[in-house]
Amino acid sequence: MPDNGEKYWRRVVGVKDGKIDVYSVCHTFTLNAARSHAVKKILMAGKRGVKNEIQDIEESITALEREVEILKGELNGRKKDEKPKEQLS
């Protein structure tokens, strides 16, 4: 199949009056909790009135770093929440 950009398109549910909520976007792309949290923080950085833009972006980075740790653990044969042996006390 030729790449005509269609791999980036999804049918989205939850569009109302031309607007969509962040959680519907995450659901459409079947993101897990860590990735959804990061996407929400990036899309709404500084716009919710609770935290400033930098804080939200830093929290998105933290969520993605944790996702990477989890994925690396799975690749190394560990369970998702199991610490690497060098971190066990």
3-39 confidence digits (pLDDT tens): 567 888 888 888 889 898 999 999 999 999 999 999 9
Which pairs from 67-74 meet CB under 8 Å and 24+ separation? 67/32, 67/34, 67/35, 67/38, 70/34
pTM score above 0.75: no
Confidence of residue 53 (pLDDT cuts 50, 70, 90): very high
CA distance 31 to 53: 22
| 65 touches 33 (CB < 8 A) | no
Higher pLDDT, 6 or 71: 71
Residue 5 in tokens? 């950009």
